[in-house]
Structure 1
Amino acid sequence: MAAAAPTVSRSPPSLIPPAGPTPGGTLPLSSIDKTAAVRVSVDFIQVFPPAAGSGAVDQDAAVAAIRDGFARALVPYYPVAEPSPGDPVVDCTGEGVWFVEAAASCALADVNCLERPLLIPKEELLPRPPPEEKLEDIILMAQVTKFTCGGFAVGICFSHLVFDGQGAAQFLKAAGELARGLPAPSVAPVWDRDAIPDPPKPPRGPPPSFTAFSFVTQVAEISPESIARIKDEFKAASGGQTCSTFDAVTAVVFRCRAVAACLPDDAEVRLGFAASTRHLLHGVLPSVEGYYGNCVYPVGVTRSSKAMSEASVAEAVAVMREAKETLAARFRDWMRGGAADHYNVPLDYGTVTVSDWSRVGFNEVDYGFGEPGYVFTLNDDVNIVASVIYLKPPAPKRGIRLMLRCVEEPHAAAFAEELAKFA
């Protein structure tokens, strides 16, 4: 007989209120919150394999500690304890965050430690509110799933209107610290959204037109050795300049996709990514450390298909660095109200967007049973624009894992072949 398919039993969602009194009233969102993210919900899962040699974990006690950590974190992070962010404010009612407890019928090893393709439907691993609540109105939710091996999966859904990735990770780190018994978060939260200028907006053009593509989901690994080799190649070609891992990997992705997509030589190929601007907000925010709102600004690269396909890897890296070097001037210009609408990007097959989750902080969250062995996103069903997400591969692997929805089926094999040259 075939083994029974794994099942997940889940409790109804319940609200975890703050552990103590919190202020009421309304708080404004920043101009970046409102411009950069709109009402986008972000789903991801942290996988915690059982710790080797550390003995059995009392899973029920661990879940109770996590609930307590969230409740205590919601006191300093009281704006998060609202089921619905308003527009353009958060109404601080102190209701709490939605929380789901779940138990799987199997060990993590039985479902390949939640590697792709998932052997448990993602809907069973992610928290969802009661049916009367709108998902897009939720600021943050969590689901803790226990596995029979003693491991856990923690599914998180957060509103990009209130957090960027680094901000959401900051909150989860605080909840983990308090779940482990620390008296206070190591980083005090900062709201201060109204300190960020609200520059006059240029007149908006017509909304961008888009096509629904049929992107293929692919996974690729870029090894530490390949990353080091790309950095060395760029250093030799540039007279001793250095580049980051992001520069190296993004150059590879952009070039490989241009080769595989087979667009006409004169067609535009574009790459966009959201660059952090926290370092540019010193002197604007009362305190940058602890600020958990959106601090991102779009950076874009446009080249012809022929130029990008024929570029050496070192030349592609130089393109990335050139684009990043414009960030400070463009962002300061935007804050003064002098920049064009850089958020309006053509959504055709020539465009690909990149998100780097490898350094955001979700891999450093510890709820009391160690840091996760793997973190991965589940927002992989968008077919409007090609996308790449950079992840840390499951421990003990190193390098960068690429979660790709970049090309349609006719170009998938060629894209994988190009990327394999850097595995």
Structure 2
Amino acid sequence: MQFYRNNPSMEGKDPVKVIREALAKTLVFYYPFAGRLKEGPNRKLMVECAGQGILFTEADADVTLEQLVDALPPPSHWFEELLFDVPGSRGILNCPLLLVQVTRLKFGGFIFAIRFNHTMSDAQGVVQFLTTLGEMASGASAPFIPPVWERHVFNASDPPRVTCSHPEYDEVPDTKGTMIPLHEMVHRSFFFGPSEISAIRKLVPPDLSHGSSTFEILSAFLWKYRTIAVQPEANEEMRLMCAVNARGKHNLVEVPAGYYGNGFVVPAAVAAAGELSRNPLSYALKLVRKAKENVTEEYIRSVASLMVIRGRPHITVVNTFVVSDLRHARFQEVDFGWGKAVYTAVASGVVEGTPGFISFYNPFTNKKGENGVMIPFCLPAPAMEKFVEELDGMLKGKSRENKSQLITSSL
């Protein structure tokens, strides 16, 4: 969801009309989004391009953007009103691939919301689509970067060969009943600003801290204290999976400009719960860094081969925590003519069809003007209480009042 302020220079222009017309033009170039997913031989997914179209909803809300600011971090009970769940549209196969809603706000401004089928694109691919949408809304007749399909760049080898270890796809039965229904979970969002990140960095040796990204340190921190909170048996394997972009700075796979499909893998760091809980944070951090470092071109080809050989297996879900960093996806840069979004984030802390173990790192600016990361989190009620207690205990440099502000939203 992307929130836009009123722009006096756009006086008299209706964002609903502008975006709807721009969508029609954009889909000429991104025509697969107007189709439907089918399954072919061996469950191979393919798009039937028969021009069925996407879903578009327009709405009006009798509130201002300013009234919504305090309730922006997910979960928010009104999010479902900003992206109407059209009956029959939730499926993966034979369903619309995009659901868009534009909601006009009181005194100007609007909210743009989109639900997309992740089988088609990852965050980078969707941002490319939305960037083109913004270009069309501003009068362009063609995308600045023409889209290309080119899914074959991530094909498995022929014949397929699994040459790397992939614990992210281990088959682990839920013998202890750890998979709790989503509606029985507690959802909260946590803000980590400069002071929180600094406090976490002080928990690891300086040389390791300086050589680690904020994403790595924060992920290791959350993995460790999430494990402590859920209180598994000491010998249980715990997994931390992080989405790694195969199109990143290392150019792991030669991907053509304009490619808008999926281009990421989810390597797993694995540790026994007892070791993860007892050891210092540097233990978890080294495991996270090693998992990311394992991602090479060979690793990516090995994942593709595993998909073919094992028939598209699901990632391991038992005792798993998945993190995905959206801070650099540039959703907030999308401009439909009203300027950049003032806030953008996933609508909830969970993904449809998962048991609530995925957290997204969203860019966020708090009331003090501090830039940081907002992270939706989902845990059973007792574990969430323990998790908050552990976080408050570790971030010792903060006053009691500031500690309570770490929890920014709850449901």
TM-score class normalised by the smaller sequence: 0.7 to 0.9
- Which residues of 2 match residues 373-384 of structure 1 at below 5 A? 373-380=342-349, 384=355
For 1:266 and 1:165, locate their aligned partners in 2 and report how far apart those are by CA, in whole Å.
35
For 1:235 and 1:207, locate their aligned partners in 2 and report how far apart those are by CA, in whole Å.
34
Whether 1:151 and 2:109 are equivalent positions in the alignment is yes
For 1:205 and 1:257, locate their aligned partners in 2 and report how far apart those are by CA, in whole Å.
21
Whether 1:391 and 2:362 are equivalent positions in the alignment is yes
For 1:307 and 1:378, locate their aligned partners in 2 and report how far apart those are by CA, in whole Å.
34
For 2:275 and 2:203, locate their aligned partners in 1 and report how far apart those are by CA, in whole Å.
19
Q: 1:57 to 1:270 in 2, by over 3 A?
A: same
Asked if structure 1 preserves the Cα contact closer than 8 Å seen for 2:246 and 2:263, the reply is: yes
For 2:8 and 2:266, locate their aligned partners in 1 and report how far apart those are by CA, in whole Å.
46
For 1:107 and 1:320, locate their aligned partners in 2 and report how far apart those are by CA, in whole Å.
42
How big is the shift at 1:262? Answer: 2.4
* 2:401 alignment partner in structure 1: none
For 1:413 and 1:224, locate their aligned partners in 2 and report how far apart those are by CA, in whole Å.
24
* 2:403 alignment partner in structure 1: none
Asked if structure 1 preserves the Cα contact closer than 8 Å seen for 2:34 and 2:51, the reply is: yes
For 1:245 and 1:68, locate their aligned partners in 2 and report how far apart those are by CA, in whole Å.
40
How big is the shift at 1:191? Answer: 0.4
Cα-to-partner distance string for 1:320-374 (whole Å, 9 max, x where unaligned):
11111111142233345699869554433x3212122222232221111122122
For 2:129 and 2:2, locate their aligned partners in 1 and report how far apart those are by CA, in whole Å.
15
**Secondary structure in 2 matching 1:288:** coil
Q: 1:343 to 1:242 in 2, by over 3 A?
A: farther
- Identify unmatched segments of 5+ residues in structure 2: 40-44, 163-168, 396-405, 407-411
For 1:206 and 1:333, locate their aligned partners in 2 and report how far apart those are by CA, in whole Å.
17
Give the one of 22, 32, 48 matched to 1:91: 48
Give the one of 383, 387, 391 matched to 1:415: 387
* 2:83 alignment partner in structure 1: 126
Asked if structure 2 preserves the Cα contact closer than 8 Å seen for 1:353 and 1:385, the reply is: no
Asked if structure 2 preserves the Cα contact closer than 8 Å seen for 1:198 and 1:335, the reply is: yes
**Secondary structure in 2 matching 1:101:** strand
**Secondary structure in 2 matching 1:243:** coil
How big is the shift at 1:175? Answer: 0.2
**Secondary structure in 2 matching 1:358:** coil
Q: How does the TM-score come out when normalised to structure 2?
A: 0.78
**Secondary structure in 2 matching 1:144:** strand
Whether 1:179 and 2:148 are equivalent positions in the alignment is no
For 2:48 and 2:250, locate their aligned partners in 1 and report how far apart those are by CA, in whole Å.
25
Give the one of 298, 308, 315 matched to 2:283: 315
* 1:369 alignment partner in structure 2: 338
Q: Percent identity?
A: 27
Length, aligned pairs only: 369
* 1:166 alignment partner in structure 2: 124
* 1:401 alignment partner in structure 2: 374
For 1:59 and 1:252, locate their aligned partners in 2 and report how far apart those are by CA, in whole Å.
49
Q: 1:106 to 1:289 in 2, by over 3 A?
A: same
* 1:101 alignment partner in structure 2: 58
Asked if structure 2 preserves the Cα contact closer than 8 Å seen for 1:59 and 1:150, the reply is: no
- Which residues of 2 match residues 339-378 of structure 1 at below 5 A? 344-348=314-318, 350-378=319-347
How big is the shift at 1:276? Answer: 1.5
Asked if structure 1 preserves the Cα contact closer than 8 Å seen for 2:132 and 2:144, the reply is: yes
**Secondary structure in 2 matching 1:317:** helix
For 1:95 and 1:57, locate their aligned partners in 2 and report how far apart those are by CA, in whole Å.
32
- Which residues of 2 match residues 49-60 of structure 1 at below 5 A? 49-50=5-6, 55=8, 57-58=10-11, 60=13
* 1:71 alignment partner in structure 2: 24
Give the one of 260, 265, 268 matched to 1:300: 268
Asked if structure 1 preserves the Cα contact closer than 8 Å seen for 2:99 and 2:114, the reply is: yes
How big is the shift at 1:167? Answer: 0.7
For 1:173 and 1:388, locate their aligned partners in 2 and report how far apart those are by CA, in whole Å.
25
Asked if structure 2 preserves the Cα contact closer than 8 Å seen for 1:215 and 1:386, the reply is: no
For 2:307 and 2:123, locate their aligned partners in 1 and report how far apart those are by CA, in whole Å.
27
Q: How does the TM-score come out when normalised to structure 1?
A: 0.76
Q: 1:219 to 1:195 in 2, by over 3 A?
A: closer
For 1:94 and 1:333, locate their aligned partners in 2 and report how far apart those are by CA, in whole Å.
35
For 2:305 and 2:75, locate their aligned partners in 1 and report how far apart those are by CA, in whole Å.
46
Counting helix residues as a fraction of each chain, which structure ranks higher?
2
* 2:152 alignment partner in structure 1: 194
Give the one of 168, 179, 192 matched to 1:222: 192
Root-mean-square deviation (CA), in Å? 3.3
**Secondary structure in 1 matching 2:337:** coil
Asked if structure 2 preserves the Cα contact closer than 8 Å seen for 1:108 and 1:114, the reply is: no
* 1:248 alignment partner in structure 2: 217
- Identify unmatched segments of 5+ residues in structure 1: 1-44
For 1:118 and 1:268, locate their aligned partners in 2 and report how far apart those are by CA, in whole Å.
29
Query: Which amino acid in structure 2 is aligned with residue 332 of structure 1?
Result: R
Cα-to-partner distance string for 1:10-40 (whole Å, 9 max, x where unaligned):
xxxxxxxxxxxxxxxxxxxxxxxxxxxxxxx
